[in-house]
Amino acid sequence: MRFGSIFSLAAALLSATVQAYGNPGACSGQCWSHDPSVVRRDDGTYFRFETGSKIGIWKAPDLVGPWTYQGAALPSGSKINLKGNDDLWAPDVNKVGDQYILYYTVSSFGVQNSAIGYATSTTMEFGSWTDHGATGVASSAGSRYNAIDAQLVKSGSNYFLNFGSFWQDIFQVPLNAAATKANGNPYNIVLNTTAPQPVEGAFVYERSGTFWAFFSSGSCCGLDANRPTPGNEYKIFGVLVDPKRGAVLYYHYMNTDVGYADSQTLFGWNVISWSGGWPSI
């Protein structure tokens, strides 16, 4: 596995730590989940955005719930003229200035005809989102990357978008000052050289001046008859700095007592321990 970036990056999940992970934290209410993005508003309300339902929105008074469904963030789909624009994936929601930006993926399973779009809202509430279409990050057959699974990261006053899944794995591209459009060429930051190069869902998180790259590695999607590689048991999707709990790793996962279908994946979270200077759950 190779890393290269303007940031100092480290793989946050090693085999030794994954083998000893804790059980997911509590969740009540509507806890079905796929590709979650969690944001806490200044008034203490938690919002959870998910793949499917044209980016479904859930709300809760606490990270543990109870979560209640509000509706679709983009009920009309995306302006991007690409197959999949009515079935949006992998939301990533961040506050930039005085508004929230929701990045999403337009794609179809297993192909590189993909693009990352964005929408904005000042409240994150159902009915408040405006779609703006393309960010300029896109891919097609033969590209080095697949333009899906976007994640925003800020370094100083500069914004960057991380993205990618399989092919040559995770890339990063500079954005404009508004964090809405690509402002440079993408470059590779995480590469697994072992075919089929199964890395996706990257989330770069800054702590004490060091940037950590959390990501998922393994087969997708459904049950792997063999033991999953580290990261595949839980699909990593973000780090939330929670005022009550500190840094929290959140994800979707499969509970074998529930089932292995995509429709049965659940929202999970764990407080990150930095004992010894290395993240573990």
Catalytic residue among 92, 131, 169, 200: 200
For 149-177, letters b (16+ CB in 10 Å) and e give bbbbbeeeeebbbbbbbbbbbbbbbbbee
Cα–Cα–Cα angle for 178, 181, 187, nearest 5°? 115
The CA distance from 36 to 98, in Å, is: 23
Sign, CA dihedral 195-198-204-210, equals: negative
Residue 246 phi, psi dihedral angles, 5° rounding: 85, -150
Catalytic residue among 35, 50, 87, 149: 35
- Token pair listed for 177: 């000052």
Residue 199: strand pairing partners: 217
- Report yes or no: 254 and 264 within 8 Å, Cβ to Cβ: yes
One-character DSSP codes across 127-175: T--EEEEEEEEEE-TT-SS---S-EEEEETTEEEEEE-BSTT-EEEEEB
Is residue 200 flagged as an active site residue?
Answer: yes
Using CB atoms within 10 Å of the CB of residue 42, give its burial: 0 to 12 exposed, 13 to 18 middle, 19+ buried: exposed
Is residue 35 flagged as an active site residue?
Answer: yes
The CA distance from 162 to 145, in Å, is: 11
The CA distance from 71 to 92, in Å, is: 17
Active site residues: 35, 200
